[in-house]
Amino acid sequence: MLPDQSQAILELRGLSVSYGGIQAVKGIDLALFPGELACLIGANGAGKTTTLNAIAGLLPLAGGDVIYAGERLNPVPAHKRLAAGIALVPEGRGIFTRLTVEENLRMGAYIRRDKVGVEADMEKVFEMLPRVKERLPQVAGTLSGGEQQMLAIGRALLSRPRLLLLDEPSMGLAPIIVEKIFEVIQSVAREGVTILLVEQNANLALEFSSRGYVMESGAITLTGSGEALLADPKVRSAYLGEIG
């Protein structure tokens, strides 16, 4: 069952984003609910990453509103959105390659002043991501792709987010590592963190998500439960590689 819409933690209302004269996101509406794992799927260039970056405050809006926990975020800069509980794990991971794993993790907590809480959250990250703990003194740029993705997620969790934005977490990773990454994502969701996932593996994303949004050419063309979208013939043909 999907959560009650009155409890939305994030709403996009007519969100538009432009690059020069090109409208990359065309007035989309989206709602996300506390504790929900939802996904945004679509072809390359559909506007998915642009949408996440706009939510995180990394791109200016051409129109519409981002509403988070009842507050209009349009004028709020990115660093204040992070402090309010919105964390982004970007496409390509965005780790600090010349810093150690531990230094990367602690950068995730730089906005926090509760040292005891930070150390407790470090231990939670280690429990969830034991490989990260094993690599603490290692320079982050020498990690494998999967380890870097785990580190990027762990770093985001150290900010203690209420809303976690994940952009293509499985990109370029071997299937066995992808499976582990999605186990971690599911564990984070069980902890009560709300997640919006952009993912090239539409089948996997919809399997794990309570709600899905299909994006085409900057517009959301279809929405429904993950289960319903998995069964939709148009979705199966366009995104799951099936021929109707």
Domain boundaries, the chain: 35-57+77-239
Distance CA 240, CA 192 (A): 29
Q: Which CATH architecture has domain 35-57+77-239?
A: 3-Layer(aba) Sandwich (3.40)
Q: In the numeric block, which tokens belong to residue 64?
A: 């519409």
pLDDT, one tens digit per residue, over 195-237 is 999 998 999 999 999 999 999 999 999 999 999 999 999 899 8
pLDDT, one tens digit per residue, over 29-61 is 999 999 999 999 999 999 999 999 999 999 999
What pTM does this model have?
A: 0.92
Distance CA 7, CA 108 (A): 28
Q: pLDDT > 70: what percent of the chain? A: 96
Confidence band (pLDDT; 50, 70, 90) for 241?
A: low
Res 6 pLDDT > 70: no
pLDDT, one tens digit per residue, over 123-138 is 999 999 999 999 999 9
Instruction: Please give the full DSSP string across 182-220, using - where no structure is assigned.
Output: HHHHHHHHHTT-EEEEE-S-HHHHHHH-SEEEEEETTEE
pLDDT value of position 34: 95
